[in-house]
Amino acid sequence: MPSPNQDDRPPGVPIDTLILHYTDMESGAAAIERLRDPVAKVSAHYVVEEDGQVFRLVPEERRAAHAGISHWRGHEALNARSIGIEVVNPGHSCGYRPFPALQMAAVADLCLEILSRHPIPARNVVAHSDVAPDRKRDPGELFDWRGLASLGVGLWPEGVDGGDLSTVPGGMARAAELLRRIGYPVDPARPEVALVAFQRHWRQEEWGGRADAGTLARLEAVAALAEAELAEKG
């Protein structure tokens, strides 16, 4: 299902980031229609339907228009260096609901295929909300990041209790420091915006933007995983 909304990637820029989205529309057909509309000027490399069907809209070697204004680990304008997957879901604006198991299995298979073709580190398998926390919330707190990580797609801090809601003195300042270490763009005036994005990904049981003890524990663990991978693989 080719989309006209694609162009050449900049020369010399590696494909080192995988960004997962939800479609935030009433149906997969409507989303694909929009992603192929030259007037809309948006696209993604793949769309994964709720029944597990996978559609390719843009070849991986080409740039798709999926991330918009985005930042991750010191890089900006991530369309140039990323592959984008749109996962069909009505989203928060159209009746957000859990992602079916068959769909998540297809997402996992697709991600593993992409990772076999490109040197994308686990720390760079991220949500749209991770790279644009001030304006995006997809794929959201119902997306099975833990299940993907168990299959080798992305990071997950196993065995780290995130349930402690107790207040930590200086917690938000510590959270902002850890968010930057992980790779988030953090607005000094509103660090809670990036914190909510982190929680939707790695602390899904509580994502109200509080820098409580459980959140800090998850932040510490994810930062350690990302830095260990960087030290091991570069």
Q: 86, 177, 227, 229: which one is catalytic?
A: 86
Any bridge partners for residue 72, and if so which? 75
Do 63 and 76 contact (CB within 8 A), yes or no?
Answer: no
What does residue 64 show for φ and ψ, rounded to 5 degrees? -105, 160
Taking the alpha carbons of 184, 229, 162, 125 in that order, is the dihedral positive or negative?
positive
Cβ neighbors of 10 (< 8 A, separation 6 or more) are: 63, 80
Cα of 40 vs its chain's centroid, Å: 22
Taking the alpha carbons of 56, 59, 60, 64 in that order, is the dihedral positive or negative?
negative
**Catalytic: 86?**
yes
Position 221, amino acid:
A
In angstroms, rounded to a whole number, what is the distance separating the alpha carbons of residues 128 and 85? Answer: 10
In angstroms, rounded to a whole number, what is the distance separating the alpha carbons of residues 196 and 134? Answer: 10
Catalytic sites, residue numbers: 86
